[in-house]
Amino acid sequence: MGQTFELTVNGERRQVEADADSTLLHVLREVLDLKGARFGCGLGLCGACFVLLDGRPAPSCDVPLWSAAGRTVTTVEGLADGDVPHPVQRAFLDEQAAQCGYCVSGILVSAAALLAEHPEPDESTVAAALDRHLCRCGAQVRMVRAVVRAGQAKADATGATATRTDAGGTGTGAGTAGVDAGTAGVDVFGTVVDR
Amino acid sequence: MSVERREVAPVAPPLPRGVVGNPRLARWVTVERDGTVTVRVGKVELGQGILTALAQLAADELDVDLAAVRMAAASTAEGPDEGLTAGSLSVANSGAAVRQVCAEVRALFVAEAVANLALDPDTVTVRNGTISDAAGSRRTSYGELAERVDLDREATGAVRPKPQHQARWVGRSVPRLDLPDKVSGRPRFIQDLALPGQLYGRVVRPPSPAATLVEVDTAAVRLRPGVRAVVRDGDFLGVVAEGEENAERAATALAAAARWHEEPTLPDEHDISRFLRAGPAESIPVPDPGHAGPAPTNPAPTNPGNADPGHADPGAAGRVVRRLRATYSRPFLAHASMAPSCGAARWAEDGTAVSVWSHSQGIHGLGRAIGMGLELDADRVDVRHVESAGSYGHNGADDAAFDAVLLARAVPGRPVHVRWSRRDELTWAPFGSAMVAEVEAGVDADGTVLTWSYDVWSQGHTARPGYAGSPGLLADTHRNRSRPTPPAVDPPARGGGGTTRNAWPIYTFPERRIHGHRALRTALRSSSLRSLGAFTNVFAIESFMDELALAAGADPVAYRLAQLADPRAREVLSTAAELGGWQRRGTEENVGYGIGFARYKDRGAYCAVLAEVEAVHEVRVRRLTLVVDVGRVVNPDGVRNQIEGGAVQATSWTLKERVRFDRWRVTSADWESYPILRFSEVPQVDVHLVDRPAELSVGAGEAAQGPTAAAVANAVADALSVRVRDLPITADRIVAAL
C-alpha cells in the first residue's frame, strides 16, 4: 500500500516507499534510519522532532510524507559539514548546553536556521526563535548562551570582531566547560544489542 | 601520579555500602588488554551527568587517563546492585564504592608489577596507566598485566582511596561523556533501540483509572496488516505488530473495539486539600535530625538564648506574645518527561526467562517486581538500562518495561518495543503528590520565633516497583483488578523521609512540634518526584519565615540570620543576598526580591536562592541567583548544570504547573493543558559554588527545588504586597489573593 516518494534528505536525493499519510518523522526514523529527530508528543507542540523543511524549522511529527515530497529536509545529522560539526553543535559542547539531550536535536536545527538568517543574534532573539521548543531539564540558559556564542564564533571566523561571553558562567571555581577535554567512553548503546 | 606509599589502615575502615553488597571486584571493573578499564556501576545516567562524575573518580583512583575509562550501562546480569538512582545520593554512595574498588584494583596491579618486574616497592608509581619505579628502567601497564591479575575476588578494605588533594580529574569541569552523541543526533536513547527482529507493541489503556473492560472484539484487529498478536490479560489490552505504524493503527482499531465501564471515582480537584486532610492517614512525627552541621561558631547575636539549636527551652512557650498561622499547598505535579516512556522485552523461546531493556531508575528492583508479578524467579529476569530523557523521579519507565514484558510473552523469541503516547505519559505515569502544610508560630515581642508547630498532609512519595509488597507496576493492576495498588509509602527518616522531607526547619527555634500525615487513600497515583516533600515543606517554611519577618518589621534576610546558627548555612544565605541584589529591594516599581534557603534532607547540599521578579499582569522571574555548598565538588560545571536546571524546573512548577482532573480522569494530557516554562519565560540563572574541599561530596540534583519556589513566592509578595500560598502562582491566584 506504500507509494514511492522522492525527497532530499541532508543533501542526498532519497526515494522512500511509504504511505502518503506517514509522518515525516516516521519516515526519517524508521525508513531512513535517521534517529536524530525524536518523538516527543506527536502534536507538534514540544519541538523534539523538528527538522528543516526547505530551510525552515518544522515539526516532522506533524508533516505527512506527501507534503514533504520533492522538498529539502535537513535533520540534526545533516548539520555537520562532513566531520566538522556545525558551529552551533560545537557551541553546545563548549557550553555543555544540555542535560538529558532529548530535546537537543530539534533545538539545534531551529538554532541553525536562526543563525542562517541572523548570524549574530542576541539572547532575546534566540529565546524567541526557540520558543516552540520545550526543555524539561531546564538547560535553556545554557542553550541560549551557546547559540549566541555560535553566532559570535562564526563572526570571529569570518574576521569580524565580537566579544565572547564567559563560557564558564559566573560561578566561582569555574573551569571553562569543554577545555578540560578528556574523552572517556560511555558504553551505553553498545551493550544494548546482543553480541 | 602518586607514590605507592598508601596508608594501610591497622584496622580496615568499613567498606562503602555498595561494596559490601557487591564485594567482588570483577563485578565492578574489567581491565582490557588495550589498557581501557570498563567500570560497571549500579547508577544510571538520567541526563544528570553521573557517569561522567563517576568516571572522574575512577580515573583518579586508578591513575589512568580519563579517556581510558569506559562506563558501562547498568545491567542486572553484569553490574553491581546499587539500588535506585535517586535522592541525590549517587555521587556520595556510588562514588565511595567506585573509589574503594578502583583503589583495590590499582593495588593488585601494582603488587603484580612489583612481583613480576622486581620493581622497587618503595618508589613504584602509576601514571596514565603505566606502572614503573624511580629507576624507571622497567615498566609495565594495566593492559599488559590485564590477564595476570584476577579481579574475581572480594574487596578487602585493606587499601584506602587516595587522599583527595592528589586528584587529577576530580574537581575539574570535565565535559559530559554522553553529550557528543546527543548533539550529533546519534541513536542513544531507548526510543532509538532497534533489536534484531524487533516488533512493536502498543497498549490500549482504560479511558479512566477506575474503568473496567466490559467487552472487546479482537477478531478484526488480528487480521490487520502486520499484527502478530492481540493481548488481553484481564483489563490489560494491547497489540504487537511488525512495524511501528502497523502497531499504532492496530491499537487505534483495538481501542475502538473495546467497551469500558467507567465510574467517577476521583475527588474534587479544587478541594484536594480537604481530601488530604480528611484522612485516614499515617501520622509521622519528625524528630530533630540531630546533625544540623558543626557546632555554631557564630551564634545568632540577637538570640543568645537560642544558641543551642534543637534543644527544647521549657520556658519558651510562656514568653509568646503573638501567634501567627498560615496554610500553603501545591497541586499534583507531573514528571512531564520530554520523551514518552519506553521499554523493550524478549522472552526466551521456551517462555521461562525474559530480557528487559528499560530506563528505570532501579533496574534490580524492576527485575524483582516483574518476577513478583509473573511468579518468576528473579534470576529469570534480566534488565539492562538504556537512557531516555530526564525523568526527575519515578515516571512511567518501569510501567512501560512491564508493558513490553506482557506483550512480548505472546511472541516468544521476538523482542517487542513499546513506546507510550504523550497522553499516556501525562496521565498514567505516577505524579508528585498534592500537599498541604499548616504552620503556626508563637513569637516574642521582637518577633523571634519561640514555638513552631507544623503539620503537612500528603499522599506518599514512593510507589517504586516492589513497594509495600506489591509489584507496583501499572499494567499489573489492570491485569488483576482484585490487586489494586496500595497507597504510596514514604522513605524512612534515615532516607530523608518523603512527606516530611525537610519539614524540620534549620533555624534555632526553642520549641517545635512537627508532624507529617501520609494519606492512606489515593486520589491520583503518586510516587517520587524530584525532592519529594521537600519542595512543599521548604516553600511553606521559607514563605512563612518571610511572613514572620514582615510581621516583625524585620528584613527577611537579617531575620533568618538572627535565628540561624549553622555557619555553612549562614554563608550561602548571606552570599546569595549580597550577589543577588538584595540591596536593590524596593527601588523599582513592580519588581520584587525574595530569598529562599534550605539544606536538602537536613544533611545534604546547602542552597540559597535570591529571586528577582517583575509582576504586573503576569509574574516574570527575571533572575535567580543561587549559592550552593555541596562539599567537595567532583565536577563544578556538572553541579552548576544540575542547580541551574533544578532552579528553572522549580520555577516552572511554581508558576505554571498543575495536574488537572475531573471526577473521572486526568484531563491535562498534552503540553497545552499541562504547560511548562518556555524559553521566553526562563530567567537568567547565576550559580555560585562555595568550595569546601575538605567536606564530603553530596548530591546537587534536588537542592534547588524548594528554595527556588520560596524565593519566587517571596519575591512576588515583595513586588505586589500580596501573598500567594497555593501553588502555582498564576495571574488568577494573584487576583484571588488581592
Mean pLDDT over B30-51 rounds to: 93
pLDDT at B11: 59
Partner residue opposite A178 with nearest CB, options B175, B392, B633 = B175
Partner residue opposite B72 with nearest CB, options A35, A191, A194 = A191
Partner residue opposite A175 with nearest CB, options B65, B340, B636 = B636
Summarize pLDDT for A14-44 with one digit per residue, the tens: 999 999 999 999 999 999 999 999 999 999 9
Between B439 and A168, where is the model more confident?
Answer: B439
Q: For chain B, give the percent of residues with pLDDT over 90.
A: 87
Lowest-confidence region among B84-93, B326-335, B552-561? B84-93
**Full set of structural domains in chain A with CATH:** 3-78 (3.10.20.30), 87-157 (1.10.150.120)
Mean pLDDT over B320-331 rounds to: 98
CB contact under 8 A, B680 and A128: yes
Residue B685: list chain A partners with CB under 8 A.
141
Mean pLDDT over B571-600 rounds to: 97
pLDDT at A190: 37
Between A194 and B501, where is the model more confident?
Answer: B501
Neighbours of A164 (CB within 10 A): 10
pLDDT at B485: 84
Neighbours of B494 (CB within 10 A): 7
pLDDT at A159: 52
pLDDT at B404: 98
Residue A146: list chain B partners with CB under 8 A.
none
Between B293 and B317, where is the model more confident?
Answer: B317
Summarize pLDDT for B181-230 with one digit per residue, the tens: 999 999 999 999 999 999 999 999 999 999 999 999 999 999 999 999 99
Partner residue opposite A136 with nearest CB, options B176, B191, B336 = B336
Q: Could you tell me the pLDDT band of residue B5, with boundaries at 50, 70 and 90?
A: very low
Task: Name residues 616-675 of chain B within 8 A of A (Cβ).
Answer: 633, 636-637, 640-642, 644-649, 652, 670-672
Q: Could you tell me the pLDDT band of residue A163, with boundaries at 50, 70 and 90?
A: very low
CB contact under 8 A, B71 and A185: yes
Could you give the angle at the alpha carbon of B343 between the alpha carbons of B485 and B643, nearest 5°? 85
pLDDT at B301: 36
pLDDT at B535 over 50: yes
Is-cis flag, bond preceding B16, omega within 30?
Answer: no
ipTM over 0.95: no
Through-space distance between the first and last CA atoms of chain B, rounded to whole angstroms: 64
Grid cell for residue A137: 531539564
Sequence-distant (≥ 6) Cβ neighbours of residue B329 within 8 angstroms: B272, B273, B434, B435, B436, B437, B536, B725, B726, B727
A184, B181, B298, B302, B510 from B566: Cα distances, Å: 39, 43, 8, 15, 15
pLDDT at A168 over 50: no
**Full set of structural domains in chain B with CATH:** 2-170 (3.30.365.10), 190-263+337-429 (3.30.365.10), 274-332+432-461+497-737 (3.30.365.10)
Summarize pLDDT for B592-605 with one digit per residue, the tens: 999 999 999 999 99
CB contact under 8 A, A89 and B184: yes
Task: Name residues 74-113 of chain B within 8 A of A (Cβ).
Answer: 75
Q: Which of B514, B428, B432, B497 is nearest to B728 (CA)?
A: B432
pLDDT at A165: 35
Cβ burial of B427 (10 Å; 0-12, 13-18, 19+) is buried
CB contact under 8 A, B70 and A186: yes
pLDDT at A194 over 60: no
Probe site for chain B from A22, A191, A194 (most B CB atoms < 10 A): A191
pLDDT at B372 over 60: yes
Mean pLDDT of chain B: 93
pLDDT at B660 over 90: yes
Summarize pLDDT for A133-162 with one digit per residue, the tens: 999 999 999 999 999 999 988 777 765 443
